[in-house]
Amino acid sequence: MHIRDGVIERIETDADDEEQFRACLRGRSYRQRLYHRDRLIYPLRRTGERGEGKFERISWDEALGAIASELKRVKETYGNQSIFYIGYSGGHGQLHGMRAAYRLLNKFGGCTKTWGGASHEGGIFASMATYGTLSTGNTRDDLPNSKLIIMWGWNPAETIWDTNTSLRLAEAKEKGTRIVSVDPRLTSSTATFAHKWIPIKPCTDTAALIAMTYVIIDGGLYDEKFLDRYTVGFDRYRAYVMGEEDGLPKTPRWAEEICGVPAGTFEQLARDYATAKPAALIAGWGPGRTAYGEQYHRAAMVLAAMTGNIGIHGGNAAGFERSYGSRNMHGFSAGKNPLEVDGPVRKDALMLRGGTTSTAVRVHVSRIWDAMLKGRSGGYPADYKLLYVTNANPLNQFPHTNKGVEAIRKMEFVVVHEQFMTATARYADILLPVNTIMERNDIAQPWLSAPYYIYLNKVVESVGESKTDFQISSELAPHLGVDDYSDLDEEGWLRKSVESSEDIEDYDEFKKAGKHVVKLPEPYVSFEAQIEDPEKNPFSTPSGKIEIYSELLADMENPLIPPVPKYIEPEEGPDDPLRGEFPLQLITTHFRRRVHSVFENVPWLAELEPDAMWINPVDAEPRGIKEGDPVKIFNQRGTVVMPARVTERIIPGVVNIHEGAWFSPDSEGVDRGGCANVLTADKHSPGGAFISNTSLVQVEKEET
Ligand SMILES: Nc1nc2c(c(=O)[nH]1)N[C@H]1C(S)=C(S)[C@@H](COP(=O)(O)OP(=O)(O)OC[C@H]3O[C@@H](n4cnc5c(=O)[nH]c(N)nc54)[C@H](O)[C@@H]3O)O[C@H]1N2
Ligand SMILES: Nc1nc2c(c(=O)[nH]1)N[C@H]1C(S)=C(S)[C@@H](COP(=O)(O)OP(=O)(O)OC[C@H]3O[C@@H](n4cnc5c(=O)[nH]c(N)nc54)[C@H](O)[C@@H]3O)O[C@H]1N2
Ligand SMILES: [Mo]
């Protein structure tokens, strides 16, 4: 940060001699977000109708007083369960983030929360069922050790993952690693790194992976010793794959019909994967965000096991991808929600059951609007009256936005802590201004716990009257009669985090350096111990082995959660009769110039790439759609109008909208902002996956 008179003038990126952590586009343009003229700078109270966007300035005292009195009223009248708290991904630091307000509400007697991670719940479910853990990944510096990397629905050049994933892919490619990408879109990652692009229809990946399994079994290419020693249930799976169970062999020809990929392509890929040891199948999260997302993840993990690519350098367990995870920091916590009598949802077997039985105070993240509209009469555990949102933009980011508008209007009271007037913030009764990462101290760990830490030094004073969520909650606590919210201040909590870490010795040195890199003697590989000595180090599954067949899943007796991975035809998938009306499959991917809805209003980033719906010329031409034309994208849930990008970089029959564009309905209720969730279904997979890549739409040229 180049600062003059307390103002950031310019942002440069890391230029250390050591390995550099180069800032992404969003980091480099943060100045334009921080000083944006639309920043919320003082507390606001609604004056018009909800959603109309009319507010008046009030003092912090008035704002906190109003919130406290409503929280107390709702608690006394309806009980704590009626307070619905949504905290999400805005801010992932050790201290500043969604835990601050959650901690306060827990100390106030508890609240309802969401379950089901939007990112990766299907993969979490599958990883727990198969390996009994989420720590299944290798550090990225292991990628160059692979002979073959399959990027399956993975676009790290744009979604970054950890800072140097692209560098590692480049190193692998230079070293001669073959890279194949399986994705409905030709992404920047594919264009840059892959030798081959295999376009596939969304929601059909499980069939593809099962057909590859068929080829490997049929050709006797599997690692029999590995299967015998480390896994259970291969025979049961083989019976399904070869068709002994249901009379339908899952051949590449079978998959060709479903996936839109020539049978020979799967045959080749399967042979290559089985023989190119070590090979890394990276099962990205996008394909998991589909109707039966957990089946895709299970099928990928089993394939990794069949080829013995687990626990070795250059391999990959195709699981959740957390690496080096055991040394996470522990500092500030939300504490226990007193209403959560069954314990947290996400614990071992209990978590596995999350897909069918969530605890009394959790609503799946895809069902929140339905729950708020129907409450007990719809079979939900409570009637919801007060919505408290921090670090999130649920109206924009959770499915079925139009239903969300209805639901949020029905609430008795809505509080939002925000930096900007987001879609959700517009519906607040009290809106509190929050500062940004540049205006406070915090510690961040990279995604999926790669081996480094970043100290986020405060560089400028808070804009206007904005505060951290932690400050707000600390100040709100006495109004609620909570006198034990926190005995530490910001610095105290951050020191405590560092003390809890096995990696960092000296807090002050870390703060001064701004980063701490853990020097590992060699790339970290998950399950090395289990593979070296399985008797001493069993897998943390019930059988102690990799579970190709899972008793835990069998016990659920749900045909939609089979004990071995299976392809199940999805609603709104490629064979749904609804295709008559809505013939195109919609995927909603993450965009390089935003983090979800964040950064949408940054001018530099807007110049980078216009927001547009991707459509193949095969689908565009008969509709008379040309590059840049405004198009209407619609289904039974809503209508979006945005420009078209006509490109062969997307498979025919599929359109893509980048998630996160700002919901901006016109007077007819048509969204002119390009918000993907106007179109997505508010359902989840049986295992709990967010299914934002499974919906059908129609597209027409918008008549102007
Ligand atoms: N720039 C940027 N980076 C981000 C984020 C962001 O918003 N912007 N968000 C962060 C967060 S919170 C998350 S959870 C991650 C998400 O990271 P990912 O889940 O990896 O990101 P996506 O873009 O949703 O999906 C990855 C790829 O999967 C493909 N895909 C979608 N559906 C299917 C399918 O059915 N089959 C196959 N084979 N491929 C499919 C997409 O075309 C895309 O190229 O990204 C993180 N990184
Ligand atoms: N259709 C579709 N929908 C998706 C996805 C998809 O792939 N397709 N991806 C899903 C995924 S993986 C995720 S993780 C979710 C993300 O869902 P959200 O977390 O709801 O999305 P964001 O847009 O990141 O919203 C975070 C908000 O927090 C605010 N914020 C930032 N810092 C702070 C802070 O310190 N305090 C407070 N109070 N607020 C702050 C930002 O201004 C922003 O408005 O979206 C999901 N939605
Ligand atoms: Mo996410």
Q: 160-174 pLDDT, tens per residue?
A: 988 899 999 999 999
Q: What are phi and psi of 464, to 5 degrees?
A: 55, -135
Q: What is the mean pLDDT of residues 238-242?
A: 98
592 Cβ inside 6 Å of ligand 1? yes
Dist. CA 126–CA 31, nearest whole Å:
40
**Amino acid 351: pLDDT:** 52
Q: What is the mean pLDDT of residues 89-103?
A: 94
Q: Which amino acid is at 614?
A: W
Cβ atoms < 10 Å from Cβ of 491: 12
Q: Which ligand is nearest to the CA of 365?
A: 2
CA-nearest of 390, 385, 380 to 410 is 385
**Amino acid 327: pLDDT:** 61
**Amino acid 529: pLDDT:** 97
Q: What is the mean pLDDT of residues 55-81?
A: 98
**Amino acid 445: pLDDT:** 87
Q: What is the mean pLDDT of residues 354-371?
A: 78
**Amino acid 15: pLDDT:** 84
Q: Is 615 helix (H, G, I), strand (E, B) or coil?
A: strand
Ligand 2 mutation pick, 121, 659, 694, max ligand atoms within 8 A of CB: 659
Q: Is the pLDDT of residue 202 over 90?
A: yes
Q: Closest Cα to atom 44, ligand 2: which residue?
A: 393
Give strand pairing partners of 280. Answer: 149
Burial of 2: CB neighbours in 10 Å, binned 0-12, 13-18, 19+: exposed
Ligand 1 mutation pick, 590, 647, 690, max ligand atoms within 8 A of CB: 590
**Amino acid 326: pLDDT:** 55
Dist. CA 576–CA 582, nearest whole Å:
10
Dist. CA 608–CA 602, nearest whole Å:
10
pLDDT band (50, 70, 90) for residue 557: confident
Top-confidence residue, 38 or 16: 38
Q: Is the pLDDT of residue 314 over 90?
A: yes
Q: Closest Cα to atom 33, ligand 1: which residue?
A: 287
CA-nearest of 216, 244, 421 to 304 is 216
182 Cβ inside 6 Å of ligand 1? yes
Q: What is the mean pLDDT of residues 525-542?
A: 96
Q: Is 298 helix (H, G, I), strand (E, B) or coil?
A: helix
Q: What is the mean pLDDT of residues 312-326?
A: 88
Distance 427 CA to ligand 2 centre (A): 16
Dist. CA 294–CA 281, nearest whole Å:
16
Rounded percentage of the chain residues whose pLDDT exceeds 70: 97
Q: Is the pLDDT of residue 175 over 70?
A: yes
**Amino acid 356: pLDDT:** 41
Dist. CA 101–CA 82, nearest whole Å:
16
Contact 53, 426 (CB under 8 A): yes
pLDDT in tens, 214-226: 999 999 999 999 9
Dist. CA 284–CA 288, nearest whole Å:
7
Q: What is the mean pLDDT of residues 374-394?
A: 96
pLDDT in tens, 484-523: 999 999 999 999 999 999 899 999 999 999 999 999 999 9
**Amino acid 325: pLDDT:** 67
DSSP class of residue 598 equals B
* 673: CB partners within 8 A, 6+ apart: 640, 642, 661, 662, 663, 664
Residue-averaged pLDDT of the chain: 94
Q: Which ligand is nearest to the CA of 98?
A: 2
Contact 392, 422 (CB under 8 A): no
DSSP class of residue 686 equals T
Dist. CA 501–CA 9, nearest whole Å:
34
Two tokens, residue 245: 């169970």
* 526: CB partners within 8 A, 6+ apart: 135, 136, 137, 138, 311, 317, 319, 323
Q: 């749904």: which residue's tokens?
A: 576
Q: Closest Cα to atom 11, ligand 1: which residue?
A: 119
- Report the atom number in ligand 2 closest to the C-alpha of 595: 24
Q: Closest Cα to atom 9, ligand 1: which residue?
A: 595
Q: Is the pLDDT of residue 66 over 90?
A: yes
Q: Is the pLDDT of residue 90 over 90?
A: yes
Q: What is the mean pLDDT of residues 531-542?
A: 95
Q: What is the mean pLDDT of residues 372-380?
A: 96
Dist. CA 199–CA 127, nearest whole Å:
26
Q: Is the pLDDT of residue 344 over 50?
A: no
Q: Is the pLDDT of residue 346 over 60?
A: no
- Report the atom number in ligand 2 closest to the C-alpha of 589: 7
R_g over Cα of the chain: 25
Q: What is the mean pLDDT of residues 330-342?
A: 85
Q: Is the pLDDT of residue 186 over 60?
A: yes
Using omega within 30 degrees of 0 as the cis cutoff, is the peptide bond preceding 278 cis? yes
Ligand 2: lining residues by beta carbon, under 6 Å: 88-91, 96, 118-119, 289, 390-394, 397, 417-420, 422, 434, 469, 588, 590, 595-598, 659-660, 676-677, 680, 692
Q: What are phi and psi of 87, to 5 degrees?
A: -125, 135
pLDDT band (50, 70, 90) for residue 347: very low
**Amino acid 92: pLDDT:** 84
Angle between helix axes 469-476 and 60-78 (nearest 10 degrees) is: 70
Q: Is the pLDDT of residue 357 over 90?
A: no
Q: Is the pLDDT of residue 677 over 90?
A: yes
Q: What are phi and psi of 696, to 5 degrees?
A: -105, 145
pLDDT band (50, 70, 90) for residue 359: low
Two tokens, residue 362: 């959790």
Dist. CA 432–CA 336, nearest whole Å:
25
- Report the atom number in ligand 2 closest to the C-alpha of 424: 44
